[in-house]
């Protein structure tokens, strides 16, 4: 039996986080949820692998998604994990910063359907398995 894909969702909007979590779990994925950068890293301490990160820009607490991107690169086992940015508030210059920090794809929440993002997650994690 295949090992389930493991997705970390870092999202401050609880209803959206719960909807994404439910959809990914229905696909057989293991989901870790967090509403802040600090909480995400606390939960990652016990993880040995990760297949994808869903990241929002503004989060609960003081740190933004940019801080998460800077810190995740300091952890070798997570350095190459694909990250997608899903935000309504990241300006164009912030999106450029995210891309320079290695974000794979950026979405404007209000401009894309959740099912489209889920399809992209399935594709990205499938590609990751092949590598």
pLDDT in tens, the chain (131 residues): 568 899 999 999 999 999 999 999 999 999 999 999 999 999 999 999 999 999 999 999 999 999 999 999 999 999 999 999 999 888 889 999 999 999 999 999 999 999 999 999 999 998 554 43
CA dist list (Å): 114 to 15, 22, 63, 101: 12, 12, 25, 24
Domain topology for 11-130: Rossmann fold (3.40.50)
| pTM of the complete model beyond 0.85 | yes
What tokens were used for 58? 């503004």
∠80-72-98 over CA atoms, to 5°? 80
Q: What φ, ψ does residue 90 adopt, rounded to 5°? A: -80, 115
What tokens were used for 55? 């990241």
Task: State residue 101's pLDDT score.
Answer: 96
3-state secondary structure (DSSP) of residue 16: helix
């Amino acid at each position: 039996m295949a090992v389930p894909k493991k997705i970390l969702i870092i999202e401050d909007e609880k209803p959206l986080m719960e909807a994404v979590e439910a959809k990914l779990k229905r696909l057989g994925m293991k989901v870790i949820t967090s509403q802040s950068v600090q909480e995400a890293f606390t939960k990652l301490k016990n993880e040995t692998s990760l297949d994808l990160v869903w990241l929002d820009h503004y989060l609960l607490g003081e740190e933004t998604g940019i801080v998460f991107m800077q810190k995740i690169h300091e952890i070798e086992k997570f350095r190459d994990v694909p990250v997608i940015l899903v935000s309504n508030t990241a300006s164009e210059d912030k999106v450029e910063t995210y891309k320079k920090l290695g974000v794979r794809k950026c979405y404007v929440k209000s401009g894309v359907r959740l099912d489209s993002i889920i399809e992209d997650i399935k594709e990205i994690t499938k590609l990751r398995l092949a590598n």
